[in-house]
Amino acid sequence: MAQKPSIPKGTRDFSPAVMLKRNYVMGIIKEAFQTFGFLPIETPSMENLSTLMGKYGEEGDRLIFKILNSGDYLKKVDVSSDFVAKILTQKIAEKALRYDLTVPFARYVVQNQNEITLPFKRYQIQPVWRADRPQKGRFREFFQCDADVVGSQSLLYEVELIQLYDTVFTKLNLPAVIKLNNRKVLSGIAEVIDEAGKLIDITVAIDKLDKIGLVKVKEEMLSKGVSEAAIEKLEPILNMTGAPTQKLETIREVLAHSKIGMEGVDEIQEVFDKISFLGLDTAELDFDLTLARGLNYYTGSIFEVEAKGVQMGSIGGGGRYDDLTGIFGLKEIPGIGISFGLDRIYLVAEELDLFPNLEADFTQVLFVNFGEIEANYCLKALQFLRKQGVNSELYPDTAKMKKQMNYANKKGIPFVVLVGEDEMSSGLLTVKNMTDGTQSTMKLEDLVTNLRK
């Protein structure tokens, strides 16, 4: 019996209609990247496992897809002692699919430090893989569209990346909220509640606040050893509401005796002041104290973007990671970057009906094939149309007219050209409008003019 075809859960095939829309979004993002001075690079789909492990926190490490060593991958395994997950993984897997584009970029910077000019601005649009539980808006294979800068601590890059988000979402007509926080603020909070040593546990927990609620977040912190007294101090901070300026003033009072916390507040304030001076076209900027993103490598600003009016989770995010290249031996190279979640942006744009009419990207003209002589004549006409930027094709076989017309209908081709003896002798084309069924006779040049209209 023939095998039933299938694909792994959390992955997808994309039809031509879907790809046109995805390419439309990627085109807008790529154009914005280049407008802001970012240059493209690519890195391999797989990295050494040691490059990725330990960079995303304990939860992130579990979501990395490991690749079995080729050949007899069990030859180094001691069956009597190695059957513990961490030990076994080291013995049978030396490589893994990349989890994101940021850690591979840090590795790239270190390996190519003598060839790049700092500050170095790069963009990267490639797929990544995570062994997550598939659900709406969450996939195991998905594209990230990243823009990063390394080699500067200037807060002007925070401002620029917010403007970059605004530029893209303005062109997509997508209403969005850009949430901003700072890891230094979170460090300050951990200090003032007397749990400085539990910063990672606290940030990982509060990052889930909108997903699992306050009760579950408190339970998780308790399970990690955060004291009830500390959680009691933290709760009113997490419930803080109001305009960004009000929240900043409140947290400034809370962190008055924390040096690192006040550094974070001042950085957020400076970014807000500059954005307030410059203005944003579409996006709204907000200060969200619960934003932590749970990743070990953020050291300063943290970004997350959500679409207004759609329950989708984040459609973008990022932050400052001033110590990331240090893990590969290159110290004191600050960095900051953001990512656009292409797949979620696509779903939001679909739900909000934001895509323009992209029919012009499909075949616009089909030439009917009446035989070899006529086909050769049509090939010359096709050559002219394609040079004029008209998407066109010739039916490959001398099939019955009904079959060729059905082909045009199924593909949504709006115009069919018929060329027989009369057309070849007169130099005119018979053009059928497949939308209203009308036929007209015209020169090839006139067909191009009409299509452009």
CA 77 to chain centre: 38
Beta sheet of 141-150, edge-to-edge order: 39-40, 120-129, 141-150, 335-341, 314-320, 301-307, 176-182, 284-287
Does 349 have pLDDT greater than 80?
yes
Rounded CA separation 277/166 (Å): 15
User: Considering the entire predicted model, what is its pTM?
Assistant: 0.85
Better pLDDT: 359 or 128? 128
How far is 172 from 350, CA to CA, in rounded Å?
11
Computed over every residue of the chain, the mean pLDDT equals 89
Q: What is the DSSP string of 293-327?
A: TT-TT--SEEEEEEETT----EEEEEEE-TTGGGG
**Beta-strand runs (E) in 98-189:** 120-129, 141-150, 176-182
Band (pLDDT 50/70/90 cuts) for residue 225 is confident
Measured from the Cβ of residue 228, the count of other Cβ atoms closer than 10 Å reads 10
Q: What is the pLDDT of residue 77?
A: 66
Between 349-353, 357-361, 379-383, the lowest mean confidence (pLDDT) is in: 357-361
**Averaged pLDDT, 139-161:** 95
Q: What angle do CA 101, 103, 106 make, to 5 degrees?
A: 110
20-78 tens-digit pLDDT: 999 999 999 999 999 999 999 999 999 999 899 888 878 888 899 998 877 676 767 66
pLDDT at 201: 80
Residue type, 57: G
**Residues in the chain, overall count:** 453
pLDDT at 226: 82
Query: Which pLDDT does position 220 carry in this prediction?
Result: 83
Residue 296 has pLDDT above 70, yes or no: no
Output the pLDDT for position 91.
Answer: 66
The most confident of the ranges 96-100, 135-139, 236-240 is 96-100
| All structural domains of the chain | 16-40+115-122+153-351 (3.30.930.10), 362-452 (3.40.50.800)
What strands, in cross-sheet order, belong to the sheet with 429-433? 392-394, 365-367, 415-418, 429-433, 439-442
Task: Write out pLDDT tens, residues 160-182.
Answer: 999 999 999 999 999 999 999 99
d(CA 81, CA 399): 69
Give the model's pLDDT for residue 7. Answer: 94
The pLDDT, as a whole number, for residue 346 is 94
Q: What is the DSSP string of 23-85?
A: HHHHHHHHHHHHHTT-EE----SEEEHHHHTTSSHHHHHHT--EEPPSS-TTTT--TTT--SH
**pLDDT for res 274:** 96
Asked if 420 and 429 count as a contact pair (C-beta separation under 8 A), the reply is no
- Least confident residue range of 68-82, 101-115, 194-208: 68-82
Q: Give me the pLDDT at residue 175, please.
A: 95
CA distance 149 to 126: 18
> What digits encode the pLDDT tens for the residues 6-33?
999 999 999 998 999 999 999 999 999 9
pLDDT at 192: 83
| Structure token digits, residue 197 | 């040593």
